[in-house]
Structure 1
Amino acid sequence: MPKSNSPEQVSGPRVVIDTNLFVRGLLKGAVTTPLMQAWKGQRLSLVTSEELLAELFEVLARPKFRRYFTRADIHELSELIYERAEIIYPTTRVALCRDPKDDIFLEVAIAGQVAYLITGDDDLKADDALKAKMHIEYGFEIIGVPEFLKLLGQLEAE
């Protein structure tokens, strides 16, 4: 599993977070903000790829987000991600999602050997066959933010 950095050791679960949740989590007051707080507090280990990061920074640079994020904010986030996240380079390609743009999240989750793919995408969350395949063949769950935060709380209580 090649990576570009050696993030600090985190005791929490390894996760992939979809781009929309990541952006929403950065907005103050969003329902997904606790997810970003858990990552920033090193309660989970973020696994991502250069492709996902390119998408994230492209989204954050869009005009509609300029009132929320300055260039300095985006630069600071970039530094934090490169310091704390594990950046992997998936070599296995899949074509399993109804929306082919979602396949990259599965590829990163597979290559990164994560425990959870956290998403707000109903296509992924509602596809029981896909969820079963990912769990059985690759050992990770596809779940939403509320479910993940509940699980994280249970893991931390043990």
Structure 2
Amino acid sequence: MKGDRFVLDTNVLISAALSADSTPARVTLWVIAHARLIFAEATFEEFRSRLWRPKFDRYLTIERRNQILHDFSAIADWVELNDDALPVSSRDPDDDMFIRAAMAGSARWLVSGHKDLLDVQGLPAITILTPADMLKRISA
């Protein structure tokens, strides 16, 4: 798994930002240290817009949010999304950008807590796991 390419969806990244001791944070830190994190403009924009929601004001300072966004932007491998038909898609069309990013970036892993993504079957060479299941794999 070291050196593999990963897409972490927005809920994983937000959870990691909010709780440094959480399973999503542990997975995110492992990916940063041992693998490659994939972002597309659309996936990063969703993360950025969610991170700036007022409900997170009591947990994350403006400075901390700016630092998180800067750091992720700097370390990520950036990919362009295309509009080609997907071999499979999520029940939630908004989640398809994560599948597209994984495919465009030749990611082996997509980590998500969304059932709509977790239920996707038939993606060649991409495994979709929860943060807890991913943590089990990287801890083994």
Structure with bigger RCO (C-alpha 8 Å, 6+ apart): 2
Calculate percent identity across the aligned residue pairs.
26
Selected match of 1:104 from 78, 97, 102: 97
What are structure 1's unaligned runs of at least 5 residues?
1-10
Supply the distance in 2 between the matched residues of 1:71 and 1:86 (Cα, whole angstroms): 25
Q: Which position in structure 1 is the counterpart of 2:28?
A: 36
2:123 partner SS: helix
Q: Select the residue among 74, 80, 85 that pairs with 1:83.
A: 74
Contact preservation (8 Å) 2:6, 2:31: no
Q: Which has the larger radius of gyration?
A: 1
Compute the TM-score of the two structures, normalised by the length of structure 1.
Answer: 0.78
SS in 2 for 1:47: strand
- Residue number among 49, 62, 65 corresponding to 1:71 in the alignment: 62
Q: Which residue of 1 aligns with 2:131?
A: 145
1:23 aligns with 2:14: yes
- The 1-side partners of 2:70 and 2:127 are apart by 28
The alignment status of 1:12 with 2:3, answered yes or no, reads yes
CA-based RMSD of the aligned residues comes to 1.7
Name stretches of at least 5 consecutive residues in structure 2 with no aligned partner: none
Count of paired positions: 136
Secondary structure of the structure 1 residue equivalent to 2:7 = strand
Matched-pair contact (CA < 8 Å) for 1:49–1:108: yes
